[in-house]
Amino acid sequence: MSIKRVWLDESENECISCSACEDICPEVFSVPDKMVVKSGVDYSKYEAEIMDAAENCPVEVIKYE
């Protein structure tokens, strides 16, 4: 699998700004307020970290494809 897109999906829950995703992968995630996904990043280089961040997000709002 090669990750091409990463996004914040607040259709069910809201990001609680806990910064766990940024701690796991600061190359992709930044949490100035709510989480933002950095643009211009080759997400395929950080697949394990992105999956780890999505799994560890307490409100499950990190999506990728």
Residues in contact with ligand SF4 by the rule CB under 6 A: 15-21, 31, 35, 57-59, 61-62
Smallest distance from ligand SF4 to CB 16, Å: 5
Q: Identify which of 59, 53, 46, 54 has the alpha carbon closest to the alpha carbon of residue 1.
A: 46
CB of 60 to ligand SF4, least distance (A): 8
Return the number of the residue (16 or 48) whose C-beta is nearest ligand SF4.
16
35 or 50: CB nearest ligand SF4: 35
